[in-house]
Each structure stands twice: as C-alpha cells, then as structure tokens.
Amino acid sequence: MTIAFQQCIDPDCGATYGVDEVHVSCPRCAEHDRVSLLDIRYDQTDDVSFETFERRWMTKGDEGDGALDFSGVWRFRELLPFYESTDQVVTIGEGRTNLQDARRLAGEIGLGRGRLFLQYEGLNPSGSFKDNGMTAAFTHARLIGAKRVACASTGNTSASLAMFASLSEMRGIVFIGSGKIALGKLSQALDYGARTLQIQGDFDDCLRHVHQIATERRELGIYLMNSVNPFRLEGQKAIMYRILEARDWNVPDWIVVPGGNLGNCSAFGKAFLELRERGLIDRVPRLAVIQASGANPLYELYTKRHVRWNDGRYDRDAVDRLYAEMDDSGYKPHTVASAIEIARPVNLPKALRALQIMDGVVREIDDDTILEHKAMVGRFGFGCEPASAASVAGTHLLVEEGVIGAGEDVVCILTGHELKDPDATVQYHTGIEKPDPQAPALPPEGRLANPPMPVADDLEAIIAAL
C-alpha cells in the first residue's frame, strides 16, 4: 500500500496536501508571503526490485499494464505511484531512449575510452526530454479532472504539452515569447492543435502570466504544466532510472545536464535520494549543471556567490539581491541555446537541494563553445540541439579543470533532438544566417564546419569534387 501526498520543501513549514489538490506552491507559506515549492512524497511499504523493471522492458505496448510497461517512465511506476488507478495514466510510449557509449567523443574531450555516455532524450516522441515529465503531469491532470492545460515555453515544453493534450483530449494552450523560438518546436505546437499565444515578452514574462492565470484566476480552470508543477518532475526522475538500467544498475560518477528552469537537475537529485532511501543504490553520482554564459543565474548564485541549500535554509536574500540587480541593469538573458534562455529559474531551490544531495558543481559556457561541442556530438554520434550540447562542453571544461577525472564515468544528458533547431546547425556549418540553397557558400564559421560544396551539373566536375 502506498500513500502519496504533496509536501512543502521548506523545512520550517513542511505542510502536506493531498495529491487530489492542485497547487504550484505551498498555500501555507503563501499566507506568510513566502513562495515555497512542493514535492511529491510517498509513505511506502511496497517492495520493488530492479529486476521487476527490467522484465517489463521487452513488452510490446498493449493496452492496460502492457502500455505502462512499454513506457520508459511507467515501467518504473512503483517509484512514482501518485496515481489512483492505472486507467488514469496518459502515455504515448515516452522514454524509450538510448544511452550511447560515445567512445570517439570521449577522446576528444579528454576522457578515457568507454567513460563518456550520452543519454539521447531527443528520441522521445516529441523530440525532447519533456515527454518524461508531461506523461506524469497529464496523468495528474486527468486524476483531478482538468479540461484545459497550459504552459509557458521556450519551445520544447509547448511541443510536448501540445502532443499530450491532443492525445488526452484536453485543450492545450501555450504561451511563447516574441524572441527567438526554434521553428521545429513551434511547428509542433501548431500542428498538434494547441492554442498558441505569442506574448510580447520573453520566457520569464510568459511564465509569470500563465502562473498567475493558473493560480489567481482559478475560475478559468487552467492547469499549469510548467516544471514548477511537482508531478512533472516525478516523471523526469525516470531519465535517471533508465541510465542506471542501461548500466546494469551501476551508478556513474557524474551526471551532467544543461540548466534552464532547473527542473531536470531537481528531479535527478530527488530520484537518487529516493533510490538511496529505499536501499536500491548505495551511493549517488555527482551532478554538474551547465548553464549558458548569457543566462546563468544558478552559476552566479552557486559558484560565484556560494549560495547553498543548507538543508533548506538557503540565503533567500542573496537570490532577491541578484534579481534586483538584474532588474536595475535591465538584464535580458541571451544565448544561442534558446531552450535555456531563462533568467529566473522557478526550480532554483530544488536545484540547490539537488546540488547538495549530489555534491554538485555549476559551470557556464559561452555560445561559440556550445556550438562547437554540438558539432562534435553530431560528428561522433547522432546530433542534439544547442542547449543539450552545453552538457558535453561543460564536461570538457570540468575535465580540463581536473574536477572530472579522465577515468571517471560520465553521463551527459542530451535533452533535445538535433532537428528541433536546424537553423542553428546550418548556420554553424555554412556561416549563412538563413540558408538559401541557391546562394554560394560563404566562408564557414565553426572549426568543424562542413558546408555543402557547390558543384556544376556536369559528371567530370562531380567526379573531381569527389
């Protein structure tokens, strides 16, 4: 028998709420003008073993429990048992992703052969890791009877939300900013039929609005799907379970992940804490969160200003000071890795907690270095979108710093598919901002640039080019 509940993460509060309630922050803390995130917690007595999960891996994906076994999230359902019955689960076979032993790339970034692994979350149905979380949040939305669901998005969240909304017959609404959005992602939201609102603002503005609508205008019945929703993070824990499963349950030395709104790293810390509490693992890997230099609030707070979780009593004033400085200077986040172009990550406290659980580090990487490592991922494996490559660039930096040893096992999370943002790739290889196949190739920009060669419509010229 399992009892699931929601709990405030602030140790001085710790208020609990039922899973049939909808909150995106703690109501009791709100009464004292504090904002505190919620966790999903379990009072658990069911025993579970890694063998149970592994046995389900071969399932074809039939109805009922077969569909759950087929999912790379619900295969691990005893580790996220917040639903009341399996009929509530909304699944599309998400999470059947790949852990690649990236041997050639390992050598390029100073790691030993067989030490670097790439977790390709771009192989999810909507092309990014978001499907891991959406399946869980939609399951909760169905549990509480939601009809309309919404999110703010830099692109991937909206694609995933739109896909699950059409599948579950809920109305999907997405808020996107007016800046750059990768066209691959926007096209998905449009195609899957979500109402797409393009707000005259950036991601942080969109999130503020949709958050306000979901929490203060409850009569509109809009269920919030951003990663401030604790049920989403329950699904994202499964990325860690699959990595362990692919490694025969051997814990790696490092997990390296890009950080934007900081949902993933938060979920990873919780996943390892729970596995250790349940006696399924006896050590946790270290965590490296990699931000873009142009959108680096966690780097600024954790690495430069030494803000620590401190068992929940972190320095809230330091965070407020940073945000006030950003306001005063008119700071706007900017990076080629548009998925992580976020100035005020909502999961900051949980990320600090994950960094404590996993003895973590945070680094920042500039855009040119991100793009260079994206090209390396493409050349030595199969590609990823710019934000994802920050994890590989960050690993390279940490190896150079001597923080990661050449003989340690490192798993980088490649969060999104290469085809999400083809413009970034084509621009890197050709130096042309808007690729036009008729135009002559310009001098290439990137070190690994591989521009198309113009060749005359003539056999001898083609053979000469070969």
Ligand X SMILES: Cc1ncc(COP(=O)(O)O)c(C=O)c1O
For the bound state, the minimum distance from the C-beta of residue 53 to ligand X, rounded and expressed in Å, comes to 23
Determine the Cα–Cα distance for residues 155 and 186; give it in Å rounded to an integer: 6
Tokens, residue 98: 């790949």
Nearer to Zn ion, 39 or 368 (CB): 39
Give the H or E element holding residue 298: helix 297-298
Number of H helices, E strands in the chain: 18, 13
- With CB under 5 to 8 Å by kind, the binding choice for 26 among ligand X, Zn ion, none is Zn ion
Task: Provide CB contacts within 8 A for 466, sequence distance 6+.
Answer: none
Q: Which does 284 bind (CB under 5 to 8 A by kind): Zn ion, ligand X, none?
A: none
- 194 sits near ligand X (criterion: CB under 6 A): no
Q: What is the DSSP letter of 295?
A: B
CA 45 to CA 377: how far, in whole Å?
43
Q: Is 156 in the site for ligand X (CB under 6 A)?
A: yes
Minimum distance of ligand X from residue 375's CB (angstroms): 17
With CB under 6 A as the contact rule, the residue among 71, 415, 427, 430 that binds ligand X is: 415
Q: Is 9 in the site for Zn ion (CB under 5 A)?
A: no
Q: How far apart are the first and last CA of the chain?
A: 66
Binding mask 11-50 for Zn ion (x = CB under 5 A): --x-x----------x-xx------x--------------
Residue 37 near residue 309, CB atoms below 8 Å? no
**Burial code of 109-119, b = ≥16 C-beta within 10 A, e = fewer?**
bbbeeebbbbb
> Burial code of 284-305, b = ≥16 C-beta within 10 A, e = fewer?
bbbbbbbbbbbbbbbbbbbbee
In whole angstroms, what is the distance from residue 75 CA to residue 349 CA? 29
Q: For ligand X, what does the binding mask look like between residues 233 and 262, x meaning CB under 6 A?
A: -------------------------xxxxx
**Rounded Cα gap, residues 245 and 238, in angstroms:** 10
Closest approach of Zn ion to the CB of residue 29, in Å: 3
Binds 340: which of Zn ion, ligand X, none (CB < 5-8 Å by kind): ligand X
Furthest-apart CA atoms within the chain: distance in Å: 79
- In DSSP terms, which residues pair with 423 in a beta bridge? none
Give which of 380, 386, 446 is closest to 105, Cα–Cα: 380
244 binds, among ligand X, Zn ion, none (CB under 5 to 8 A by kind): none
CB of 237 to ligand X, least distance (A): 12
Output the CA–CA distances (angstroms, integers) from residue 78 to 211, 437, 452, in the order listed: 30, 52, 50
Whether the CB-CB separation of 253 and 268 falls below 8 Å is answered with: no
Q: Considering only CA atoms, which of 209, 264, 64, 231 is closest in space to residue 146?
A: 231
Convert residues 261-300 into a mask of x (bound to ligand X by CB under 6 A) and - (unbound): xxxx------------------------------------
> Toward ligand X, which CB reaches closer, 71 or 154?
154
Partner interacting with residue 8 (select from Zn ion, ligand X, none; CB below 5-8 Å by kind): Zn ion
Residue whose CB is less far from ligand X, 56 or 135: 135
Which of ligand X, Zn ion, none lies near 263, with the C-beta cut-off 5 to 8 A by kind?
A: ligand X
Place of tokens 């135009």: 439
**Interacting residue with ligand X among 37, 151, 339, 371 (CB under 6 A):** 339
Strand partners, 117: 101, 411
Give the count of beta carbons closer than 10 Å to the beta carbon of residue 463.
9
- Tell me the window of 3-11, 164-172, 389-397, 416-424 that interacts with Zn ion (CB under 5 A): 3-11
**Span from 10-18, 200-208, 318-326, 416-424 in contact with Zn ion (CB under 5 A):** 10-18
The interface partner of residue 132, options being ligand X, Zn ion, none and the CB cut-off 5 to 8 Å by kind, is: none
Q: How far is the CB of 260 from ligand X (least distance, A)?
A: 3
In angstroms, rounded to a whole number, what is the distance separating the alpha carbons of residues 384 and 222?
Answer: 32
What CA–CA distance (Å, rounded) separates 37 from 14?
Answer: 10
Rg (CA), the chain: 22
Binds 339, which of Zn ion, ligand X, none (CB < 5 to 8 A, cut-off by type)? ligand X
What is the nearest approach in angstroms of ligand X to the Cβ of residue 384?
8
Contact positions with ligand X (CB under 6 A) in 299-338: none
Closest distance to ligand X from the beta carbon of 465 (Å) = 36
Choose among ligand X, Zn ion, none what residue 381 binds, the Cβ cut-off being 5 to 8 Å by kind: none
Among 128, 139, 296, 335, binds ligand X (CB under 6 A): 128
Per CB under 6 A, contacts with ligand X among 370-399 are 385, 387-388
Query: Which residue is it, tokens 């609404």?
Result: 173
Q: What is the nearest approach in angstroms of Zn ion to the Cβ of residue 37? A: 9
The residues of the shown chain that bind ligand X, judged by CB under 6 A, are: 128, 154, 156-157, 227, 258-264, 339-340, 385, 387-388, 415-416
The residues of the shown chain that bind Zn ion, judged by CB under 5 A, are: 8, 10, 13, 15, 26, 28-29, 36
